[in-house]
């Protein structure tokens, strides 16, 4: 059945007030889909449908809703409902959701959780944003060193249902220090009396609570893990992060890079739910900064007033082509470098290898483009040979300079611990503009015997 | 111990020929790290170390090596070694690796596999590139409808070790049609005599062999899955794709988008291993295309020769600022839209909502930028009020037009089934240039009473 048909039928059941049937229909759907359906409803109907949901599904559905809907729902349900919702949710989902709420609403939610959960939540809320601690879950399966395989299996059967994953069991000592891990797939093969210490993997990759989520994603991807344990500074196990959360981290980090590379202030809000004011504020700072840099480009042109007013207009007409090509060449190489650095495929120490490679690429690309441009300016625009040569030569040098700038700036940024993504096309374009115009006019002045 | 220290000790053991100790040391490391160490060796030592590896680790290490090293290794080992390597490897890793080899080497590898594996490999090699079929694994755990929980558990204990994941068991009927799935975490809780049909999840998200990997990643991420089953056109189960492979797909697709958005022809080769020739070829087509588009911008300037030669040079000096700002504004919005489309957060049908929102953003951003520019041109560059007004007004309109173009082009591309990422800053910049210069000169001509 098509999704649009499903939506239609749900709407019909909702409007006709047949709540039993509606509940039955909802039980056939995944929490993700129900959450998506909820987003299409007005607050009143959303509340109604949420209350019709089977109790064991509501926490799951809730965790997939947008933060706006979560807030509107929390503001309209009673204290008892809040309490049972928080009890059912995984702690990491609760923390994610609280981080997005205004302080007053957070207070009301916290008042409705038991003391122990409240302490845990408060602890979580103190981890730095985007750190391993802030995205981990505490619902993992642990075993004490010295337990037998049979004891661990019995434990899993008893409490495993409330854990986010039971497929890796983490082994700790009396001081809660992480000692090793056992995969469930191996555990089920062992004799019940085997002591887990003797079969556990002791070489376990882990991260600490303060590690950045980007680093965590890198480790998980490198070792193809399904989950990674999180330890505190004393190597005590405090949580795990599962692969599904890592996928979201990867997409989030990529989106951030895309935004920075387009001169946007990264924002975690969804586009359609952000006000024009806020969008404008995210865009203005970089635009102002870049237009200040462009003042220099303007000053370069002003200082060559005589040249531009007395020579073939083709010289002026080629400014946009020169600027655009320089910007594009710079953007091509800076994008490759930024991406290589983000994926750990390139290191700042590779700078000379990269520069040498880019220099050869620039010679080739520049040759093709400048021959093309020489013929174009001479025969299509009808300029004379000297002017055509000035344009072609400037273009060749622009390509080389653009590649060098596009290559060095991201690597330099990485060296001084700035995000290389900031050194993307907008900034590079502006810098290359200034460099290429200076070159262009100097070449024109000396070759055309002016000035 | 630091990674550099580990490398140093391994080098020492390798040089001194103490193979027993070397093997012991390697057994302490993960296959990923060993593969990374191998990459630093010359072919002869690489082969030596590979032969020292414990047999059960070599296939794993091999699958993490770069394709260049895989090829050099395959070319230097004997037929027997090839045979045991292929037997130990997961089929999807074998296929990935064969796809990167020259035909002659592929033939030699295929000659050394048994008939059944060869057929399977050939079938895999026929799936379109980047399709679900080409990245799936056939080492999954299946159960026939009608089996009991006890029978399934016995099966897992017997053959589970060779499967890529056993945490979800897929239930099929006699015709191999996918009927449902059971999570191992639930299976271990059931009484041995329970028939799995009665407890399986019947609402299983699946993909077909020809689905694009980007779509697969979208489904897995949407439903937070650890693995997704792959079926053929008749809904027969043929394989699964696990979360660790999906993470690589996500990064690959993001890299492709970054490259397209920077006017690069996407390439799956690593930067440092690609020759300057190949890099140049990946970059020239777009640069030529864009410089052809820039010819029009040049023609616009040429046709306003009188204006530019007779009025304040500031008019010319502001061309770069106007072009850069237009390009940046267009890039900002097109990036947001391209990203929103890629993550399925925006749909082409949202076009009017987006346009209306961007129009309001443009009014705000344009107001701030043009007031800033008006004052700057008047008081810093010392132009008179009419010229300053021409620049400021053109800038305002440029911002609005740039936002509109940056908004419409990616959505249009999506409509006509082109990749929206192609409509990124380089193309948008060039188009916005032409539009903004036309505006600029028209406004100048009419306001300054010239022409």
Compare all CA atoms of chain B with the CA of A437 and give the residue at the minimum distance.
B320
Residue with tokens 């299509």: A380
Q: Quote the domain boundaries for residue A109.
A: 3-126
- Chain-chain contact of A220 with B247 (C-beta, under 8 angstroms): yes
Are B343 and B424 within one domain?
A: yes
Question: What's A191's domain CATH number?
Answer: 3.10.580.10
Last residue of one domain, picked from the residues A242, A261, A284: A242
Structure tokens at B439: 């505006």
Are A296 and A410 within one domain?
A: yes
In-domain check, residue A253: no
- Chain-chain contact of A313 with B308 (C-beta, under 8 angstroms): yes
Cα(B416)–Cα(B264) distance, rounded to whole angstroms? 21
CA distance B291 to chain A (A): 6
Cα(A9)–Cα(A78) distance, rounded to whole angstroms? 29
Are B303 and B388 within one domain?
A: yes
When CB atoms are compared, the residue of B225, B314, B338 closest to A302 is B314
Which residues neighbour A442 within 8 Å (Cβ) at sequence distance 6 or greater?
A: none
CA distances from A16 to A1, A11, A339, B137 (A): 21, 9, 53, 47
What percent of chain B clears pLDDT 90, i.e. is strictly above it? 21
- Chain-chain contact of A280 with B331 (C-beta, under 8 angstroms): no
In-domain check, residue B265: no
Compare all CA atoms of chain A with the CA of B324 and give the residue at the minimum distance.
A430
Question: For position A450, what pLDDT does the model report?
Answer: 55
In-domain check, residue B391: yes
Last residue of one domain, picked from the residues B243, B261, B283: B243
| Residue A353: alpha-carbon gap to chain centroid | 29
Cα(B106)–Cα(B90) distance, rounded to whole angstroms? 17
Are B35 and B72 within one domain?
A: yes
**Which chain B residues have a beta carbon less than 8 Å from that of A316?**
301, 308, 316
Which residues neighbour A353 within 8 Å (Cβ) at sequence distance 6 or greater?
A: B272
CA distance B286 to chain A (A): 9
Question: For position A228, what pLDDT does the model report?
Answer: 95
pLDDT at B414 over 90: no
Are B236 and B317 within one domain?
A: no
Note the ipTM here: 0.76
Q: Which one of B266, B277, B320 makes the best mutation probe of the A interface by having the most chain A beta carbons within 10 Å?
A: B320
Positions of chain A with pLDDT lower than 50, given as ranges = 451
With beta carbons less than 8 A apart as the criterion, state whether B391 and B324 touch: no
Are A116 and A165 within one domain?
A: no
In-domain check, residue B414: yes
CA distance A115 to chain B (A): 30
Phi, then psi, of A310 in degrees rounded to 5: -105, -15
**Which chain B residues have a beta carbon less than 8 Å from that of A246?**
247
Are B218 and B334 within one domain?
A: no
Last residue of one domain, picked from the residues A196, A225, A242: A242
Are B297 and B429 within one domain?
A: yes
When CB atoms are compared, the residue of B160, B298, B338 closest to A320 is B298
Long-range contacts of B11-15 (CB under 8 A, 24+ apart): B14/B41, B14/B45, B14/B48, B14/B49
Question: For position A400, what pLDDT does the model report?
Answer: 94
Are B408 and B307 within one domain?
A: yes
CA distance B324 to chain A (A): 7
Are A440 and A294 within one domain?
A: yes
Question: For position A451, what pLDDT does the model report?
Answer: 43
Question: What's A357's domain CATH number?
Answer: 1.10.357.20
Q: Tens digits of per-residue pLDDT, B251-262?
A: 888 888 888 887
When CB atoms are compared, the residue of B161, B279, B361 closest to A279 is B361
Are A118 and A147 within one domain?
A: no
Q: Tens digits of per-residue pLDDT, B281-335?
A: 888 888 888 888 888 888 888 888 888 888 888 888 888 888 888 888 888 888 8
When CB atoms are compared, the residue of B283, B327, B336 closest to A332 is B283
Question: For position B152, what pLDDT does the model report?
Answer: 92
CA distance B288 to chain A (A): 7
Q: Tens digits of per-residue pLDDT, A219-248?
A: 998 888 889 999 988 899 999 999 888 998
Compare all CA atoms of chain B with the CA of A421 and give the residue at the minimum distance.
B258
Are A292 and A428 within one domain?
A: yes
Cα(A80)–Cα(A421) distance, rounded to whole angstroms? 47
CA distances from B187 to B151, B171, B181 (A): 11, 13, 11
- Chain-chain contact of B284 with A189 (C-beta, under 8 angstroms): no
In-domain check, residue A131: no
Q: Tens digits of per-residue pLDDT, B140-186?
A: 899 999 999 999 999 888 888 778 888 899 999 998 999 999 999 88
- Chain-chain contact of B320 with A297 (C-beta, under 8 angstroms): yes
Question: Number of folded domains in chain B?
Answer: 3
Q: Which one of B1, B305, B324 makes the best mutation probe of the A interface by having the most chain A beta carbons within 10 Å?
A: B324
In-domain check, residue B261: no
Q: Tens digits of per-residue pLDDT, B263-289?
A: 777 776 777 778 888 888 888 888 888
When CB atoms are compared, the residue of B248, B255, B308 closest to A316 is B308
Please state, rounded to an integer, the average pLDDT across all residues of chain B. Answer: 86
Question: What's B108's domain CATH number?
Answer: 1.25.60.10
Question: For position A302, what pLDDT does the model report?
Answer: 85
In-domain check, residue A233: yes
pLDDT at B114 over 60: yes
Question: For position B451, what pLDDT does the model report?
Answer: 44
pLDDT at B450 over 60: no
**Which chain B residues have a beta carbon less than 8 Å from that of A150?**
none
In-domain check, residue A248: no
């Amino acid at each position: 059945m098509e999704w649009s048909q499903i939506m239609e039928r749900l709407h019909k059941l909702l409007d006709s007030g047949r709540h039993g049937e509606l509940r039955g229909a909802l039980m056939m759907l995944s929490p993700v889909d129900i959450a998506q359906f909820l987003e299409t409803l007005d607050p009143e109907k959303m509340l109604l449908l949420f209350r019709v949901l089977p109790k064991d599904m509501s926490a799951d559905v809730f965790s997939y809703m947008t933060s706006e809907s979560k807030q509107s729902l929390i503001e309209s349900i009673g204290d008892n409902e809040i309490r049972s919702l928080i009890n059912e949710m995984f702690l990491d989902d609760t923390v994610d959701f609280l981080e997005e709420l205004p302080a007053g609403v957070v207070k009301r939610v916290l008042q409705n959780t038991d003391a122990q959960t409240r302490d845990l939540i408060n602890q979580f809320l103190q981890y730095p944003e985007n750190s391993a601690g802030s995205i981990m879950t505490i619902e993992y399966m642990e075993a004490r060193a010295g337990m037998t395989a049979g004891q661990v299996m019995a434990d899993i059967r008893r409490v495993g249902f409330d854990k986010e994953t039971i497929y890796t069991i983490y082994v700790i000592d009396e001081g809660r220090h992480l000692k090793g891990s056992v995969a469930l797939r191996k555990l089920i093969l062992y004799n019940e009396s085997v002591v887990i210490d003797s079969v556990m993997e002791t070489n376990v990759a882990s991260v600490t609570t303060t590690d950045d989520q980007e680093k965590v994603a890198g480790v998980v991807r490198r070792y193809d893990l399904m989950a990674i344990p999180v330890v505190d500074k004393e190597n005590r196990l405090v949580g795990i992060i599962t692969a599904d959360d890592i996928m979201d981290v990867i997409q989030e980090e990529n989106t951030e890079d895309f935004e920075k590379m387009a001169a946007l202030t990264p924002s975690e809000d969804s586009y359609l739910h952000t006000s024009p004011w806020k969008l404008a504020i995210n865009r203005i700072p970089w635009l102002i900064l870049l237009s200040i840099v462009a003042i220099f480009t303007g000053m370069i042109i002003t200082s060559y007033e005589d040249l531009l007013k007395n020579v073939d207009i083709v010289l002026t007409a080629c400014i946009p082509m020169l600027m655009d090509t320089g910007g594009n060449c710079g953007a091509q190489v800076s994008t490759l470098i930024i991406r290589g650095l983000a994926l750990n495929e390139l290191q700042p120490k590779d700078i000379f290898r990269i520069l040498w490679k880019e220099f050869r690429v620039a010679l080739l690309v520049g040759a093709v483009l400048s021959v093309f441009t020489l013929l174009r300016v001479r025969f299509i625009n009808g300029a004379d040979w000297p002017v055509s040569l000035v344009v072609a030569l400037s273009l060749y040098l622009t390509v080389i300079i653009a590649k060098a700038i596009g290559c060095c700036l991201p690597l330099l940024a990485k060296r001084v611990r700035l995000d290389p993504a900031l050194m993307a096309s907008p900034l590079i374009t502006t810098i290359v503009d200034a460099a290429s115009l200076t070159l262009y006019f100097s070449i024109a002045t000396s070759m055309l015997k002016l000035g």
